[in-house]
Structure formats: C-alpha cells, structure tokens
Structure 1
C-alpha cells in the first residue's frame, strides 16, 4: 500500500496545490498559462533560459550539475556545454499537468453529481477504486476539495484528508495572512504547509 499524490482544488475549480510521493510515470510540467502560480515547483511551466554563458551561476569546480541542461558533467568541464555522452531526456507520453488536473477534477465532479442525483438520501462521494489506483475525496464547507490518489488496496483515506485540512491547511494557509484564499491568480505553495503535509503523509502506516 502507498500514497501517490495529493491535489487541492478551490471553489473556482482551480488546482491550487499539488504534491506527490510514489508517482511512477514521468510528470510533465503544465503549459504556459495552464495553471495558477505557486501550485508546485515540480509542475510549473518551463520558461526559456535567456541567460548568457557569462551569467552562469556555476562557479565552483565541485559543482558538477550544469545550470542550463541538468546533465552531470566532468569536473573542470565548461558547465555551459553538455557532455557528449549524456543521454537524451526520457520521452513521456503522459499529459501536461494542466490537462491532468482537468481530468481529475472532472471525474470528481461527475461522480459527485451522479451520486447526488441517483441517491435517495443525502450521500457523499468519498472514494472510488480501479485496478490501478484508488481516488479519495474530502470537500470542505468553503468549497475546497482535497483529492488523494493511492494504491487500490488502501482503505478509505477521507479521514487523512480531513486531518490535513484541520491541521496543516488551517494552521499554515487559512491563518496565514500572506496566503490568498480566494485568488484566481495564485496557488498555496507555502513551504511550511508543504513540509507539514509531507511529514504527516510519511508518518502514516499506509505510506511505504
């Protein structure tokens, strides 16, 4: 059993936060303008590097990571020139992150509406399972939706999402005057919130 990823959507249907742990497929960054700012550094749109060789930040010969290519180069080699033996970056057939979150939110919204229309009682959509993953949902009164993807054999994690909301989210986002809570232009990638969520998820027995 394990936990793959966490998404948080606001009441405007926008993804304002993302974090993953055991993702197996290569994650493609979002397209320019596809997501809000400060959702996650891992999915931020890639921008063209306009720096010149003279402005390279690699100044120490011990630093073997090229600042412009990400390839490991030999000590003493010009960091602005990629190694001839460096392999090409792996190609991925996955969707860009902004397309992925649209699908995730669309599934949550569709299943929630279907359950509300077909159920005779006021039932809530909490999770569903496929052969590859299990999706868990917790929705707050203010309209925030916490969505988690986990191994299909994992039990319901709605209580985990509720604890993330009542603990780290309230402490480091709701009570933080520097974090916009109703913005269509800014996410909530707060360092303290991210670190707190990471510690909490890793402390769970289902995290492996």
Structure 2
C-alpha cells in the first residue's frame, strides 16, 4: 500500500499545491504544479464530474451541489485517484495504489483541519489564487499535512 501524491486545485482550475511522495527521498513540493500531468489529472476529474452530472439528468442548482461529491474515487490498472470537492470548489486529490479503498475521511480531514486552519483562517496566507504562479507555500500547512499523511497506516 502506498500514497503517491496529494494535490489541491482551486476554483480557477490551477494546481495550487502538489506534494509527491517518493520512496528514495523526501519527494517534491510544488514542483509539478504547471506540468502536463497536473493539467491532465484535473481534466480527467473535471470530465468525469461532467459525465456524472449529465447522467444524473437534473441540472438544478440543488442537484449540482450534491453531484459535486458523487465522484469519490476511480481506478486504473496502476493506481486509484481519490477525490473530494469542497463547497468553495477546492478539489483535493490523492493518488494511491489500487489496494486502498476509501480515503474520503482523509481528504475531509486535510480540508477541514489543515487547509481551513492554515490557509483560510490565516490572515497572512493567500485565499484566492488567481494566476498559475500562485501556490501554497505556508510552512505550517506543508509540515502538518506531511506529518498527517505520513502517519497514516496506508502510507509506505
């Protein structure tokens, strides 16, 4: 079992935080935010969400907010992508191996206990990331999310 990466996308479709975990070193933080892999990851999630909304058939505002969290995870032959979207359209994504089933509670913890605490409630931290160059560099957020993810039993 392994966790490969953790990403956050904002409401402007920008990757504002990307943490990749590596078995050989400490991994990277915010190095691959503007790469094609981040854009493809967002595109896949966005497309699947749109497919779900089309299949649901009802386009009212109430149903759209409930549809946003219909997509919880999907898998390929190599990995599984776990997805959580907040009411403010922040998208939290964790990529793991296929043996890990459900990480919704972990994604909720990352949003409610770490993002809200260190980014939303921090007056010195940016809340609205308007350009592709603006990223999360808050050291408290980075250190605490790293410690939390690395303390999970599924992290190897």
- The interval holding the TM-score normalised by the smaller chain is 0.7 to 0.9
- Structure of larger gyration radius: 1
Which residue among 96, 109, 115 is the counterpart of 2:52?
Answer: 115
Give CA deviations for 1:8-52 in whole Å, capped at 9, x if unaligned: 00000000001011379xx9x9xxxxxxxxx72x348xxxxxxxx
Are 1:105 and 2:53 an aligned pair?
no
Q: How far did residue 155 of structure 1 move? A: 1.2
**Aligned equivalent of 1:154:** 100
Kindly report which structure 2 residues correspond to 1:74-93, keeping only aligned pairs within 5 A, or say none. none
Structure 1 pair 23–43 and aligned structure 2 pair: CA distance change class (3 A): farther
CA RMSD in angstroms, aligned pairs only = 2.2
Q: TM-score if structure 1 supplies the norm length?
A: 0.63
Give CA deviations for 1:132-153 in whole Å, capped at 9, x if unaligned: 0000110000010001100111
- Secondary structure in 2 aligned to 1:156? coil
Are 1:129 and 2:75 an aligned pair?
yes
**Aligned equivalent of 1:177:** 123
More deviation in 183-192 or 151-160? 183-192
Q: How far did residue 181 of structure 1 move? A: 0.9
- Secondary structure in 1 aligned to 2:39? helix
**Aligned equivalent of 1:69:** none
Gapped regions of structure 2 (runs ≥ 5): 58-62
Kindly indicate which of the two structures has a greater share of residues assigned to helix.
2
Task: Tell me if structure 2 keeps the 8 A contact 1:3–1:22.
Answer: no
More deviation in 168-177 or 178-187? 178-187
- Secondary structure in 2 aligned to 1:198? helix
Kindly indicate which of the two structures has a greater share of residues assigned to strand.
2
More deviation in 169-178 or 131-140? 169-178
Gapped regions of structure 1 (runs ≥ 5): 30-38, 45-96
Give CA deviations for 1:88-109 in whole Å, capped at 9, x if unaligned: xxxxxxxxx5211110000000
Give CA deviations for 1:99-142 in whole Å, capped at 9, x if unaligned: 11110000000001101111368551111011100001100000
Q: TM-score if structure 2 supplies the norm length?
A: 0.83
Structure 1 pair 8–23 and aligned structure 2 pair: CA distance change class (3 A): farther
The count of aligned residue pairs is: 143
Find the aligned partners of 2:129 and 2:143 in 1 and give their Cα distance. 23
**Aligned equivalent of 2:17:** 17
